[in-house]
C-alpha cells in the first residue's frame, strides 16, 4: 500500500524528472554541478520559492490568485521609494515589516471580496492585479531605482559565503536572503501539516460544504489564505530588490503562470484539497532547472515560454487524472455494494 501511495504522488515524478534533467544537463555541459552554478541555482529559487508557498496555500484551499506578482511589485516599489524619499538609514527589518503589512492588506482585499461576493477568485484577482499595476504605474509613477537606499544596499551586499569555479574562474555568492526562503518554507509547512488551520485549508479545498458542516469557518479560511499569500508577496518583492540590487517593476512579468505551473507540478490539485510544501518546492526547482539551464543544453532561451506552457499543460493533465482516479476509487466500492445488494435481492 505504501508503494501504491508513493506511485500516486506527483512529488515522486517531479523528483525523478529533476534527477534525469540534471544528469542530462551535466552530461551535455559538464557545468551543472560546479559550485558557482549550484549557488546561482539556489539564488534563483529564493523569490519564486517564497511566492510559491503563498500561492500553494491559496490553491490548496480550492482558490486561485493571479495578483500576487503585482502585490509584490507594489510593495517593493512603495517601500524602496519611501526609503529613498525620507533618506532612511535604519534597520532593513523595518522595510520588510512594512512590505509584509502592505502585502497582507492587499491580500485581505482579495480575501474579503472572495468571502463576501463568492465570485470565482480568478475574476477577482484579475481585477485587483490590474488595479495594483495601475496604482504602481499611475499614482506612484514607478521607475527603475538603480541606487538603493542604504539599508537595502547593505542587505543586498550581505552574503553567507562565496564560491568560485576553478575552471572558468566565475564566482558566485550566497545571499543572506536564502534564510528568508527557508523560514517561509518552514512556516508554511508547519501551518499546513501540524495545525487545525492547515487541516481546514485542505478540507475547504476538498469540499467547502462538507468543511463547513465539520465546523470550519470557510469565509475566514478564504480571507486567511489570500492575506498570507499577499504578505509573502510583499516580503518576496523586497527580497527581489535585495537579490538583484535594484528595483524594477517588470521583475515579475509572467510570474503568475510560472508559479502556478510550479505548484501544480509539485502535486497540488488545481481544484484544491491536496499538495505539500515539499512538492511545491520541487515544482519550483523543476521550472527553474528548465528556464535557467536551456543555454547549457544548447537550446535558445526564447524557448522557455514554450517549455513553461508544456509544463503547465502536463501539470493540469496530471491533476485532472488524479481527480478522475480519486472519484473512481470512491465510487467503485459504492457500485460494488449496490451490485451485491441487487444480486441478493
Cell numbers given for 65 = 490568485
What is the three-state SS of 283-340?
Answer: HHHHHHHHHHHCHHHCCCHHHHHHHHHHHHHHHHHHHHHHHHHHHHHHHHHHHHHHHH
Q: Helices 218-244 & 178-194, crossing angle to 10 degrees? A: 170
Residue among 304, 285, 319 nearest 48 (CA): 285
Residue 67 has pLDDT above 90, yes or no: yes
Convert the pLDDT of each residue in 238-287 to its tens digit.
Answer: 999 999 989 888 888 888 888 988 898 887 888 888 889 999 999 999 88
* 256 CB-near residues (< 8 Å, 6+ apart): 66, 67, 68, 69, 129
Contact in structure between 202 and 191 (CB atoms under 8 Å): no
Q: In which region does residue 30 sit, left (phi positive, over 0), alpha (psi from -120 to 50) or beta (all else)?
A: left
Q: What angle do CA 59, 64, 67 make, to 5 degrees?
A: 125
* 62 CB-near residues (< 8 Å, 6+ apart): 204, 205, 206, 208, 271, 272, 273
Task: Lowest mean pLDDT of 9-13, 22-26, 162-166, name the range.
Answer: 9-13
Contact in structure between 260 and 55 (CB atoms under 8 Å): yes
Convert the pLDDT of each residue in 298-338 to its tens digit.
Answer: 676 667 677 777 777 776 676 666 667 666 765 655 545 55
Q: What angle do CA 65, 77, 234 make, to 5 degrees?
A: 40
Residue 342 has pLDDT above 60, yes or no: no
**Which of the pair, 291 or 158, is modelled with greater confidence?**
158
Cell numbers given for 57 = 496555500
Long-range own/partner contacts, residues 100-104 (CB < 8 A, 24 or more apart): 100/231, 100/234, 100/235, 101/231, 101/234, 102/74, 102/75, 102/78, 102/234, 103/71, 103/72, 103/75, 103/230, 103/231, 103/232, 103/233, 103/234, 103/235, 103/237, 104/227, 104/228, 104/230, 104/231, 104/234
Phi, psi of 321 (to 5 degrees): -65, -40
- In angstroms, the Cα distances linking 188 to 47, 207, 269, 338 are 15, 21, 17, 43
Q: What is the pLDDT of residue 320?
A: 66
Convert the pLDDT of each residue in 114-143 to its tens digit.
Answer: 988 888 899 999 999 999 999 998 888 878
Band (100; pLDDT cuts 50, 70, 90): very high
Average pLDDT over every residue of 207-226: 92
Average pLDDT over every residue of 179-204: 95
Residue 76 has pLDDT above 90, yes or no: yes
Give the chain's mean pLDDT. 86
Residue 56 has pLDDT above 60, yes or no: yes
3 state DSSP class of 207 = coil
Strand partners, 174: 161
Q: What is the pLDDT of residue 125?
A: 93
**Which of the pair, 142 or 7, is modelled with greater confidence?**
142
Phi, psi of 42 (to 5 degrees): -60, -40
Amino acid at each position: 500500500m505504501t508503494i501504491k501511495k508513493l506511485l500516486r504522488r506527483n512529488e515522486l515524478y517531479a523528483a525523478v524528472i529533476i534527477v534525469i534533467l540534471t544528469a542530462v544537463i551535466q552530461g551535455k555541459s559538464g557545468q551543472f554541478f560546479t559550485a558557482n552554478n549550484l549557488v546561482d541555482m539556489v539564488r534563483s529559487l529564493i523569490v519564486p520559492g517564497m511566492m510559491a508557498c503563498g500561492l500553494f496555500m491559496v490553491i490548496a484551499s480550492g482558490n486561485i490568485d493571479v495578483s500576487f506578482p503585482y502585490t509584490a511589485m507594489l510593495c517593493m516599489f512603495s517601500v524602496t521609494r519611501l526609503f529613498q524619499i525620507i533618506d532612511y538609514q535604519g534597520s532593513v527589518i523595518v522595510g520588510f515589516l512594512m512590505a509584509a503589512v502592505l502585502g497582507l492588506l492587499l491580500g485581505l482585499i482579495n480575501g474579503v471580496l472572495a468571502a463576501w461576493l463568492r465570485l470565482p477568485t480568478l475574476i477577482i484577482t484579475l481585477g485587483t492585479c490590474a488595479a495594483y499595476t495601475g496604482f504602481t504605474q499611475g499614482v506612484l509613477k514607478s521607475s527603475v531605482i538603480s541606487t538603493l537606499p542604504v539599508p537595502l544596499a547593505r542587505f543586498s551586499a550581505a552574503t553567507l559565503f562565496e564560491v568560485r569555479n576553478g575552471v572558468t574562474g566565475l564566482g558566485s555568492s550566497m545571499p543572506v536572503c536564502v534564510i528568508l526562503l527557508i523560514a517561509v518554507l518552514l512556516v508554511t509547512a508547519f501551518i499546513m501539516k501540524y495545525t487545525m488551520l492547515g487541516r481546514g485549508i485542505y478540507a475547504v479545498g476538498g469540499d467547502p460544504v462538507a468543511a463547513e458542516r465539520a465546523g470550519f469557518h470557510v469565509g475566514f479560511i478564504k480571507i486567511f489564505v489570500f492575506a498570507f499569500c499577499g504578505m509573502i508577496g510583499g516580503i518576496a518583492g523586497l527580497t527581489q530588490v535585495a537579490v538583484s540590487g535594484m528595483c524594477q517593476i517588470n521583475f515579475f512579468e509572467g510570474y503568475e503562470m510560472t508559479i502556478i505551473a510550479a505548484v501544480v507540478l509539485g502535486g497540488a490539485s488545481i481544484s484544491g484539497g491536496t499538495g505539500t510544501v515539499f512538492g511545491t518546492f520541487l515544482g519550483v526547482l523543476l521550472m527553474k532547472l528548465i528556464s535557467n539551464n536551456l543555454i547549457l543544453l544548447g537550446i535558445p532561451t526564447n524557448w522557455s515560454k514554450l517549455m513553461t506552457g508544456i509544463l503547465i499543460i502536463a501539470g493540469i493533465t496530471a491533476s485532472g487524472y488524479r481527480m478522475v482516479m480519486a472519484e473512481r476509487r470512491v465510487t467503485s466500492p459504492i457500485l460494488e455494494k449496490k451490485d451485491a445488494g441487487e444480486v441478493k435481492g
